[in-house]
Chain A
């Protein structure tokens, strides 16, 4: 018994620095952020207490509600788009086609680019006076219009397109690794039973890849919550405030508008929302199942 306990103690001691960082740097800053959100702070923190005032203002702010709505639209379409496109690309590559590594590189290549570069490139492609619209007009179809970038009700979908273009390759890489891990015997058995390939993918392979899907979804979800740079580079939140997102709200109020109380209130709301949505789900996916499998 004793040696076992000692063996347990050593890693615990080794983990003390990590725990210190977690407690002070992560939990400490979270607590501080939440504390500041209940104050009247401007550019500098002030430790008074004004109750829910900042939250009241936050939830009455049109910009915040537009930001949240945009995040929902972007989040759903971006994750679904990446999963569908990434899976189809992975299946395509899994057919043992010629030049596979070549295709793989091309599909994964956008992910090597930052959201800033992605945003700028797509902003130029979608710009009505420079990009697609201009090109088609020059080909002779002069009545052609594609001005979503300057339309407040459509610009958010362009962000989705740019985001999917960037991140679908990552999903492809993850799922391709999963597909390669599928036992050849399963395919043989299915062929013997005369089951069509699409049916095997849908009913057998996808359920087998569920942990891969979870990994992909978690990675994509993180990208959604911290969505900021793509918006800044591509639309700057415009036209008007139609493509604003919560992270940009926080940054703008933190520095430019010198209201860290409102910024921290927004950050706290984001934090709680992430906790509420992802917490139980992550728990059930990783911890419960993981323990059970051991």
Chain B
């Protein structure tokens, strides 16, 4: 019953928004863009798109929807696309989130533009394949984010008299020392998605690239039942002993803030944490250290894309053409990603000016030590089941690693 009411409200909200957006027609190529970049650093980044688009004769109409890691924005945008009043462009995470919009023929095929501007030659191949369905390009990728980072406070580690970890065993030794000093060893947020992020850090870092791909990409049940996966589950379970009582109700930015303020030693978070670090006037890689994929050092390729729904009017189509072109221009790519804390999707732009952490990531990308993000490999539905399992394991010490592995196998197999 709740759901019916909720859907109706969302539908009405969509109609109202659409009506507001219709407005008077203008000569400029007007583009209404739905996205969820609303925090300080994110806003500064999206402004780079807006400026460049307006400079080339467009008119950016901002339709940012805050909240829920993009859930609200995606709900709004999907509602409008299905309702026949699509926005000019709309953000998704790189991956399977827009699969069904493609299979229902609601999105524009971007192949002509890709051929015109030669995108397929310069975009990172993993990202390119993530926006390609049946050989056609259906979205413009704008950045590469990695989730698998371990951030640490140099000052807190110094206080505890330990060195930054090189292995997972080192990490536990360090955290024991931090505990003795009365510091929080591991700053963790209570939000389920951050616990999933921590789990993938362990799976990629402790388990390695091959295990991750076997489990998540091939959905190989035998790999989940292997001793290697059990080791991952044990390591992940061990982390439960190093979080503090205040975890529940803490947001991701409050967790990284504990590391920035030297109250906690470590935090697992994606590279968007850099926005918080620089915002506090600290330097990533210097004041707050970073390790890309502790253990096996694997870079995780995720990020954001923009899709362009099918629209009727020629004017709106040309606005889409322009917007897509602007987003992938080398200069705009660098300016945007610099503010966003991510890496450009173009392999032909200079990244020399980026910070020490980004350099670590770029080096791994060039070596080929990377994996596609779980959003690219599995559907939101399966991700949801994994989220439930991981969060309930991480917050309940009575569950054993073996039970975790068994349940994980049933999700992957089912």
Using a CB–CB cutoff of 8 Å, the interface residues on chain A facing chain B are: 29-30, 33, 42-44, 62-63, 123-124, 127-130, 133, 147, 149-150, 152, 155, 225-226, 228, 235-242, 247, 250-259, 262-264, 267, 270-271, 274
Contact check, A240 vs B393: say whether CB atoms are below 8 A apart.
yes
The stretch from B54-62, B214-222, B379-387 touching chain A is B379-387
With a CB–CB cut-off of 8 A, which chain A residues contact B82? 44
Q: Which of B214-266 contact A (CB under 8 A)?
A: 244-249
Contact check, B249 vs A127: say whether CB atoms are below 8 A apart.
yes
With a CB–CB cut-off of 8 A, which chain A residues contact B68? 256
Closest B residue to A251 by CB, please name it. Answer: B6
Contact check, B6 vs A123: say whether CB atoms are below 8 A apart.
no
B84 to chain A, nearest CB (A): 13
With a CB–CB cut-off of 8 A, which chain B residues contact A236? 190-192, 249
**Given contacts A239-B395, A239-B396, are A259 and B2 in contact (CB under 8 A)?**
no
With A and B bound together, what is the CA distance between A121 and B101 in angstroms?
40
The stretch from B70-78, B136-144, B340-348 touching chain A is B70-78
Contact check, A128 vs B394: say whether CB atoms are below 8 A apart.
no
Q: Can you report 7 A-B residue pairs in the complex whose CB atoms are below 8 A from each other?
A: A42-B100, A240-B391, A240-B395, A250-B2, A250-B3, A267-B1, A270-B2
Number of A-B contacts (CB under 8 A): 122
5 closest Cβ pairs, A-B complex: A129-B246, A240-B392, A239-B395, A257-B384, A240-B395
4 new A-B contacts, CB < 8 A, other than A43-B100, A44-B82, A150-B395, are: A152-B395, A240-B396, A250-B2, A271-B1
With A and B bound together, what is the CA distance between A242 and B397 in angstroms?
13
Contact check, A251 vs B2: say whether CB atoms are below 8 A apart.
yes
Please indicate which of the listed interface residues B75, B104, B379, B384 has the most CB atoms of chain A within 10 Å of its own CB.
B384
**Set A33, A225, A238: member contacting B248, Cβ < 8 A:** A238
Contact check, B192 vs A150: say whether CB atoms are below 8 A apart.
no
With A and B bound together, what is the CA distance between A237 and B379 in angstroms?
22
Contact check, B249 vs A149: say whether CB atoms are below 8 A apart.
yes
The yes or no answer to B25 lying at the interface (CB within 8 A) is no
With A and B bound together, what is the CA distance between A270 and B3 in angstroms?
10
Closest B residue to A267 by CB, please name it. Answer: B3
**Set A33, A63, A130: member contacting B388, Cβ < 8 A:** A63
Contact check, A267 vs B190: say whether CB atoms are below 8 A apart.
no
Q: Which of B1-43 contact A (CB under 8 A)?
A: 1-4, 6-8
With A and B bound together, what is the CA distance between A225 and B394 in angstroms?
28
The yes or no answer to B97 lying at the interface (CB within 8 A) is yes
Interface size class of chain B, counting residues whose CB lies under 8 Å from the partner chain: 35 or more
**Given contacts A44-B104, A240-B396, are A259 and B391 in contact (CB under 8 A)?**
no
Contact check, B244 vs A129: say whether CB atoms are below 8 A apart.
yes
With A and B bound together, what is the CA distance between A242 and B248 in angstroms?
12
With A and B bound together, what is the CA distance between A195 and B45 in angstroms?
76
Please indicate which of the listed interface residues A63, A155, A252 has the most CB atoms of chain B within 10 Å of its own CB.
A63
A65 to chain B, nearest CB (A): 12
Contact check, A147 vs B245: say whether CB atoms are below 8 A apart.
yes
**Set A152, A228, A241, A255: member contacting B2, Cβ < 8 A:** A228
**Given contacts A240-B391, A255-B75, A256-B71, are A128 and B1 in contact (CB under 8 A)?**
no
**Set B4, B101, B393: member contacting A30, Cβ < 8 A:** B4
**Set B1, B7, B97, B396: member contacting A225, Cβ < 8 A:** B1
With A and B bound together, what is the CA distance between A236 and B191 in angstroms?
7
**Set B8, B246, B394, B395: member contacting A127, Cβ < 8 A:** B246
**Set A238, A251, A257, A262: member contacting B395, Cβ < 8 A:** A238
With A and B bound together, what is the CA distance between A258 and B70 in angstroms?
13
With A and B bound together, what is the CA distance between A63 and B385 in angstroms?
9
Contact check, A258 vs B6: say whether CB atoms are below 8 A apart.
no
**Given contacts A240-B392, A240-B393, are A123 and B2 in contact (CB under 8 A)?**
no
Contact check, A255 vs B74: say whether CB atoms are below 8 A apart.
yes
With a CB–CB cut-off of 8 A, which chain A residues contact B384? 252-253, 256-257, 259
Contact check, A257 vs B248: say whether CB atoms are below 8 A apart.
no
Closest A residue to B379 by CB, please name it. Answer: A258
Contact check, B245 vs A254: say whether CB atoms are below 8 A apart.
no
B274 to chain A, nearest CB (A): 25
**Set B100, B101, B396: member contacting A152, Cβ < 8 A:** B396
Contact check, B396 vs A242: say whether CB atoms are below 8 A apart.
yes
Contact check, A235 vs B248: say whether CB atoms are below 8 A apart.
yes
With A and B bound together, what is the CA distance between A129 and B264 in angstroms?
14
Contact check, A43 vs B78: say whether CB atoms are below 8 A apart.
yes
Contact check, A238 vs B1: say whether CB atoms are below 8 A apart.
no
A274 to chain B, nearest CB (A): 7
Please indicate which of the listed interface residues A155, A240, A252, A257 has the most CB atoms of chain B within 10 Å of its own CB.
A240
With a CB–CB cut-off of 8 A, which chain A residues contact B379? 42, 258
**Set A228, A239, A250, A255: member contacting B190, Cβ < 8 A:** A239
Contact check, B245 vs A238: say whether CB atoms are below 8 A apart.
no
**Set B3, B248, B380, B381: member contacting A264, Cβ < 8 A:** B3
